[in-house]
Structure 1
Amino acid sequence: MLQSYPMYAYIPARDLARARQFYEQRIGLVPKQEINGGVAYEFAGGTACFLYPTPNAGTSQASQAFWSVDDVDALIERLKARGVTFEDYDMPGERSPAGAVIAGGAKAAWFKDSEGNIMALVQSL
């Protein structure tokens, strides 16, 4: 029933100004709209996320969201050059030259945003 509708991610932020600086300056996102005390960003395929203030940011130990990308290694290098630090999880699988985990038909890499949220880049192989 719900698969015919777009799905959007919520990204919590303890400090909205700091989070906006991370996502807009380091990740390169362009805000679409400020609404209800937060900010919306649009992505490919009509998807979007809403960055909003809450004291609960960074409390999840799992990935908050992921981008489905064409070339994880190239994006790792580009984001590292902009000051993004990638996590090094002890996981089974091979490692790509840029450090992404290769397993289960995908190549993936994770980083934490300024609020401690875990975000991922995933490339289907």
Structure 2
Amino acid sequence: MRANRPRLVLSGVLAGRTLQAGSWSRGIRRRRVTLANSTRLGQAQVYATLPAVDLDRARRFYSQTLGLEPVEDTSDGLTYELGQGSRFLLFASAGKASGDHTQIAFSTPDVAETVEELRSRGVQFEEYDLPGLKTVDGVADMDGRRSAWFHDSEGNLLGVTQPQ
């Protein structure tokens, strides 16, 4: 290996997955990397959990505003299933979400189309003007990856993103 070639070191929960390497950094070629399963976590399916102070209000928001219906309603909360086996759980919580960071991101083939659809349902998108992150009409373009963010009824910050 040449001394000036960047090395890619991945381990832990990424083990056993095929990843697109290089998409987060300029100057690194895209290449497929497959890692061996080295831990039980490397073989685990992942899902997000989102707190809801008012679970009934959250259910209405996710149903009426986002067009999503739970597949399970248990004492643990509301479970939603989306494309490709992804899931998330809305659970009753006495604490309120900070809303300071993206808690769940929905990958979509066209962010602009998704933003337009959600706006027609009443969603208000965040506007940012920060070093390295500026939105135009609610959408940020970050080295080819387009993203937009909004808050749900419980203050959770949700994102929609379009891969490169």
Aligned to 2:43: 4
What's the % identity of the aligned pairs? 36
Distance 2:105 2:113 in 1: 16
The answer as to 2:123 corresponding to 1:84 is yes
Residues 29-108 of structure 1 correspond to what in structure 2 (within 5 A)?
29-91=68-130, 92=132, 95=135, 98-108=137-147
The answer as to 2:158 corresponding to 1:116 is no
* CA deviation after TM superposition for structure 1 residue 37, in Å: 4.4
Amino acid at match of 2:153: S
Distance 1:99 1:60 in 2: 17
* CA deviation after TM superposition for structure 1 residue 110, in Å: 0.1
CA RMSD of aligned residues (A): 1.6
Amino acid at match of 1:78: E
Distance 1:105 1:65 in 2: 20
Distance 1:94 1:29 in 2: 29
Distance 1:100 1:22 in 2: 22
Q: 1:107·1:123 contact (CA, 8 Å) conserved in 2?
A: yes
* CA deviation after TM superposition for structure 1 residue 71, in Å: 0.4
Change (3 A) 1:57 1:94: closer
Distance 1:85 1:13 in 2: 19
Distance 2:94 2:157 in 1: 16
Q: 1:6·1:46 contact (CA, 8 Å) conserved in 2?
A: no
What are structure 1's unaligned runs of at least 5 residues? none
Higher RCO (C-alpha under 8 Å, 6+ residues apart): 1
Q: 2:128·2:135 contact (CA, 8 Å) conserved in 1?
A: no
Amino acid at match of 1:115: E
Aligned to 2:58: 19
Normalization by structure 1: what TM-score?
0.90
Normalization by structure 2: what TM-score?
0.70
